[in-house]
Amino acid sequence: MDSVLKSWAVPKEPPTKSGVKRLAVQVEDHALDYINFEGRIPEGMYGAGTVEIWDKGIYTLRTRTENKIEFTLQGSKLKGDYVLIRFKNKNWLLIKKKET
């Protein structure tokens, strides 16, 4: 989206079941060059900790406004329709939509 990697930290892992809501904290955008980055960022540096690619696949953007993003995922672990809903600054809810 917008020629960058949009990123959210999801502390309790993304939902795999319909109707489950997870906190998703928006973090800074990354250049497309980082698409395969995994590793450890040292303490004291921005984003310190372990960076792991949890899933990989294709997304299809359905709709996008300032406070809501609807998309479909076709990944190894995540499949189906999802929505991100902003509820406070950089805090969003990530919800797997019910299958129709």
pLDDT at 17: 92
Read off the pLDDT of each residue in 1-30 and give the average, rounded to a whole number.
90
Read off the pLDDT of each residue in 74-83 and give the average, rounded to a whole number.
95
The boundaries of the domain holding residue 74 are 5-96
Q: How far is CA 29 from CA 3, 17, 79, 89, in A?
A: 10, 27, 23, 15
Domain count, the chain: 1
Q: How far is CA 28 from CA 4, 5, 96, in A?
A: 10, 9, 23
Q: What is the pLDDT of residues 34-70, one digit of tens each?
A: 899 999 989 998 878 888 888 999 999 999 999 999 9
pTM: 0.86
